[in-house]
Amino acid sequence: MANHKSALKRHRQSLERRLRNRVVKTQVKNAVKGVHQAIEQNSDPEALRSALKAASSMLSRAGVKGTIHKRNAARKISRLTRKVNALNAAQ
């Protein structure tokens, strides 16, 4: 355990960031899972669009904040968008 005042503060900060990042990552995973479930259920295009919008918003926010890498967020958004567009084109 750290003994210096600055090291103790850094430790507290890292714990707070870890909790915050964990919450954001869980929300992102649930949003992505919601899009996948909507795709599997062949939901109407409006429901797909709203699920995709919510997921892409969360992903981009997590990328900007540094919770996940910005290219990782962009890749996930791109793949989800392609799946939704392919399903809409097939319908």
Q: Quickly list DSSP for 25-40.
A: HHHHHHHHHHHHHHHH
Is residue 28 scored above 80 in pLDDT? Answer: yes
**pLDDT score, position 58:** 97
Looking up residue 24, the CATH number of its domain turns out to be 1.20.58.110
Taking alpha carbons only, the member of 60, 23, 13, 66 closest to residue 52 is: 60
Encode pLDDT of 53-70 as tens digits.
999 999 999 999 999 999
Query: Percent of the chain, pLDDT > 90?
Result: 88
pLDDT at 35 (0 to 100): 96
Q: Which domain holds residue 62?
A: 5-90
Number of structural domains (the chain) is 1
pLDDT at 91: 77
